[in-house]
Structure 1
Amino acid sequence: NNFYVRINGKENKNPVRHLGNDDLDWLAHPDYDIEDHKILENGQIIHFQERHLNGMIFFQTERGCPQACSYCTNNIMSELYKGKGNLLRTHSVDYVITELKRLKNKFPSIGVFDLRDETFTIRNIKWLREFCERYKKEVGIRFKCLAEPASMSSESMSEEKLRLLVDAGLTDIIIGIQSGSDRLNFEVYNRFITQEQLLKCANVANKFSDKLAIMYDIITANPYETTEDILETIKVVIQIPPPFYVSINNLIYFEGTPLYDRALKDGYIKTDKDSASTLNYWDRWAHIKLKKKNEYLTLVLNLMRGPSTKKRIGLMPRKVLNYLIKENVIDYNLKHLFPTYVAGNMVSWMDYAREHGVKPLYNMTPVSFKVWYDKIRYHA
């Protein structure tokens, strides 16, 4: 299966095998045993302990993704297995519930399951009804999931799905929007999701905001973004009904993806450093400086990360944000980068303090605190 073998001095590459039927339940259960696992902690290799789970387990109920985004490694898998079977396959409800119950009993400190399927809300309503009914009765702890606007823009169906999930214990949902610019989503990211779908999705999700922490994922620090693209993203986020949480992610090129190949061809990537893969992921200003484009608006967008209310979006009071995106203010800061670089370096120091001060202190807290904090951290 995909091996290279040498026969009579000639190298031959075996093709990948067919994925088989759509039934995932015949596969072995994932290995969650920790007895023989090791972890690097404070420069020492030690035995993995339950406390390292931080009260949360990541779990997948499906394989594959309905999207083929140009920046994502799922795109590579789609190409690799094209014509080799159905890429989007789902476990049965019985398999999922049985496994979650086993993990809950195995690790008593677990307070939440993070269901990391690419788009959990794409499930058909029959599967979700059975899952939610059984999860509430048999598992009974909070859980999180991922979603995307296209699968949640049908108001009646999306509202029914969310009502079932919230009643079963869903407390956090992460919705990937990536950009508020239709041009960027369509032409660069290969994501056929519109502003209209996003805002419909946001209005549906907002109906459950008293019980549900809603996070919106955005990608920026992308040299293919124009000033207009970033401005559209900022303006779309302003239109989302609060409360919600904004997660800003700065672009890293993954080798082998269409976006990586495009950036390589266009001269944006000349060395490994240019892919941003060697940077500290959490140092926002380092990513912005590396891309050397739209520094001002990209920094403004990064400062919108965090809980959002009627009065603020992340660190930015809405009145200040509206001022910063005025045409004359943007024009000034595009011509005079010094204020942006001063603010950017301040942000870099903030990120350093969080990574080297706050996080180590957090890691020292008991699991019970981490479970409690995780429950409230994304609520505005």
Structure 2
Amino acid sequence: MKIAFINDSSQQLGIQYMSAVLKQHGHEVKLFMDPQLFADDVIQINSLGKLFNYENKIVKDVKEFSPDLIGISIVTDFYQWACNIAQKIKAEIDTPIIVGGIHPTSVPDRVMNNKNFDMLCIGEGEFAMLELANSLEKGAIDYSIKNIWFRKGEEIIRNEVRPLISDLDALPMPDTDLYYSASPHFNRTGLYITMTSRGCSNACSYCCHSYLHELYKGKGPTVRQRSVNSVIEELDLNTNKHKIKFIAFMDNCFGYDLNWLKEFAREYKEKIGIKFWCIMHPNDVTEESVHYLKEAGCHTVDMGVQSWNEDLRKNILFRNIDNQTMENAIQLIKDANIEIMTDSIFDLPNQTDEDILKSAEKYIEIKPKRIYFYMLRHYPNTKMTRMAYDNNWLSKDRYEEVMDAHNVTSFSVGGDNVSKKLIKYQILFYLIDLLPKDISRFILKKKLYKYFPSFIGPALVVILRNLLAFDMNARLQRAWTINRYFHFTVKKTFNLKDK
């Protein structure tokens, strides 16, 4: 069986694992990547996006590959992109298309209304995709495969969700070469992306896990951890193959298991020894856990704060943690000379200007390495979106747009409500990152933020901030983006063929 995966401009671990499982069982897999030049989640310039559009080339290349099955993994931000490219493919070849990823998982009925999609995978796809490929190879589709919905004539067959994969070590190593062969920009910067666990013990209202906890209730533990040996084996394999300079662990709560972290620190320091970035929940940050992070060679910790208003955090965001715990966590990480980055969400329901300015005061004093400022973005079927609909924080029309991914504004450059006032606050928080404490205090005391320019869009503010950032994460992301744009603009301009 020949399976083609069509990919947006990001690197997706889910596809890497599915590819590894399929190849392990004799199937041929190829990735077709759309670089989304000037049409990604940050840079959106319509005229240049049309000039450097790769969709027709992808359709042509997929047609030449002549796959038996086409898979598209979809996030909400790129759902309309997926609909568009699926329509173009169907106009050329009648190959079945299966979609998966967090957007189809969250709103499967709505996604299956699009008749260009023949099948839909809910949740984890490794074994569902393998069973589907095996049945297609035998010449007859098995319509009873768990996790997969099928279009059969006018009927939609909705199969139940299978239990979560409990033993992550049973999976083969993720197929990193699938991406590295599709575009050199993935490995040119030396950044390697992986996960040591799946799931999250928390169910914050704005996050997809608030829905996934409900979907998988009774289907297995919410968090599953790979063994340290499995992680080290993967990293050892890839560090010997590629020039890896920095590793990003994309776990939702890295090191939540202290015993695991202790063993990891010892093995990682001895056998890998490469600087890394990780995400941690404040509740998991202790003197002991920070000691192990430092021992392992952790360079940066990203930690969600979201709001310094405890009432908002508890009753709106469903994050049951107090301010003192967060302050202590930030200080412990700083004391260990590990870079600390924090995430904050603004334009929350019932949030006041006073809340935002108190957050600014707090950040001036604790001074993390970098503050990531996000405006609230509603995603399909999250607890936040359902609360917003029930409480009329979202209009019915906007709710329908959210659920169908229409008029999407990426969370990284804006939100569902981008106002001049929020843009000024956005600039304020970015300046707090860059300026000495005394100057930041002066700006806040004299309310100079009121005079900040608001005519520039949030996307431009983000781009300028990223250009001025010197933390490791920003430098790598900047290099990754520059390499992607350089490679594919040159390729398009001079009509270069793939090697």
TM above 0.5: yes
Q: Is the 8 A contact 2:255 2:284 kept in 1?
A: yes
Q: Is the 8 A contact 1:97 1:139 kept in 2?
A: yes
Residue by residue, what CA displacement relative to the aligned partner does 1:201-244 show, whole Å, maximum 9, x if unpaired? 122112112xx11111112233542223323322332332x463
Alignment match, 1:44: none
Shift of 1:89: 0.6
3-state SS of paired residue (2:264) = helix
Residue by residue, what CA displacement relative to the aligned partner does 1:104-161 show, whole Å, maximum 9, x if unpaired? 1121x2101111111113122x222221111111112111111121122xxxxx2122
Q: How far apart, CA to CA, are the structure 2 residues paired with 1:8 and 1:57?
A: 43
Q: Is the 8 A contact 1:142 1:170 kept in 2?
A: yes
2:214 to 62, 73, 79: 79
1:89 to 224, 228, 235: 224
2:235 to 100, 103, 106: 100
Alignment match, 1:201: 329
1:363 to 477, 482, 499: 482
Residue by residue, what CA displacement relative to the aligned partner does 1:304-356 show, whole Å, maximum 9, x if unpaired? 237xxxxxx22455345435545x959x95xxxxx45x345387655566789
Q: How far apart, CA to CA, are the structure 1 residues paired with 2:406 and 2:283?
A: 29
Q: How far apart, CA to CA, are the structure 2 residues paired with 1:357 and 1:305?
A: 10
Alignment match, 2:352: 226
Shift of 1:2: 3.5
1:191 to 319, 327, 330: 319
Alignment match, 1:13: 158
Q: How far apart, CA to CA, are the structure 2 residues paired with 1:350 and 1:93?
A: 40
3-state SS of paired residue (2:294) = helix
How many residue pairs end up in the alignment? 327
Q: 1:98 to 1:8 in 2, by over 3 A?
A: closer
3-state SS of paired residue (1:25) = helix
Q: How far apart, CA to CA, are the structure 2 residues paired with 1:230 and 1:298?
A: 12
1:54 correspondence with 2:189: yes
| Segment drifting more, 25-34 vs 268-277 | 268-277
3-state SS of paired residue (1:249) = strand
Alignment match, 1:26: 170
Give the RMSD, CA atoms, in angstroms: 3.7
Residue by residue, what CA displacement relative to the aligned partner does 1:53-101 show, whole Å, maximum 9, x if unpaired? 5211111000110110111112221111011111211001111100110
Matches within 5 A, 1:271-350: 271=398, 272=401, 278-279=408-409, 281-283=411-413, 287=415, 290-292=417-419, 296=421, 299-305=424-430, 313-326=432-445, 329=447, 339=451, 342-345=453-456, 350=461
Shift of 1:18: 1.8
Alignment match, 1:45: none
Q: Is the 8 A contact 1:183 1:229 kept in 2?
A: no
Q: Is the 8 A contact 2:344 2:373 kept in 1?
A: yes
Residue identity matched to 2:200: C
Q: Is the 8 A contact 1:63 1:88 kept in 2?
A: yes
TM-score w.r.t. the length of structure 1 is 0.74
Q: How far apart, CA to CA, are the structure 2 residues paired with 1:181 and 1:175?
A: 16
Q: 1:346 to 1:4 in 2, by over 3 A?
A: closer
Residue identity matched to 1:262: M
Q: How far apart, CA to CA, are the structure 2 residues paired with 1:36 and 1:173?
A: 26
3-state SS of paired residue (1:83) = coil
3-state SS of paired residue (1:256) = coil
Q: How far apart, CA to CA, are the structure 1 residues paired with 2:359 and 2:180?
A: 46
Q: How far apart, CA to CA, are the structure 2 residues paired with 1:149 and 1:49?
A: 36
Shift of 1:200: 1.4
Q: 1:144 to 1:361 in 2, by over 3 A?
A: closer
Structure 2: runs of 5+ lacking an equivalent? 1-145, 470-477, 485-499
Alignment match, 1:121: 255
Structure 1: runs of 5+ lacking an equivalent? 39-47, 153-157, 307-312, 334-338, 366-380
2:273 to 140, 147, 169: 140
Residue identity matched to 1:133: R
3-state SS of paired residue (1:120) = coil
| Segment drifting more, 90-99 vs 296-305 | 296-305
Q: How far apart, CA to CA, are the structure 1 residues paired with 2:245 and 2:480?
A: 21
TM-score w.r.t. the length of structure 2 is 0.57
Q: Is the 8 A contact 1:55 1:110 kept in 2?
A: yes
Q: 1:148 to 1:36 in 2, by over 3 A?
A: closer
Q: Is the 8 A contact 2:205 2:382 kept in 1?
A: yes
Shift of 1:50: 6.0
Q: 1:78 to 1:277 in 2, by over 3 A?
A: farther
3-state SS of paired residue (2:255) = helix
Q: How far apart, CA to CA, are the structure 2 residues paired with 1:139 and 1:58?
A: 14
Shift of 1:245: 1.9
Q: Is the 8 A contact 2:364 2:440 kept in 1?
A: no
Q: How far apart, CA to CA, are the structure 2 residues paired with 1:343 and 1:8?
A: 52
Q: 1:351 to 1:165 in 2, by over 3 A?
A: closer
Q: Kindly, what percent of the aligned residue pairs are identical?
A: 27
Residue identity matched to 2:364: I
Q: How far apart, CA to CA, are the structure 2 residues paired with 1:60 and 1:215?
A: 19
Alignment match, 1:378: none
Residue identity matched to 2:163: H
Q: How far apart, CA to CA, are the structure 1 residues paired with 2:188 and 2:232?
A: 20
3-state SS of paired residue (1:246) = strand
Q: Is the 8 A contact 1:34 1:49 kept in 2?
A: no
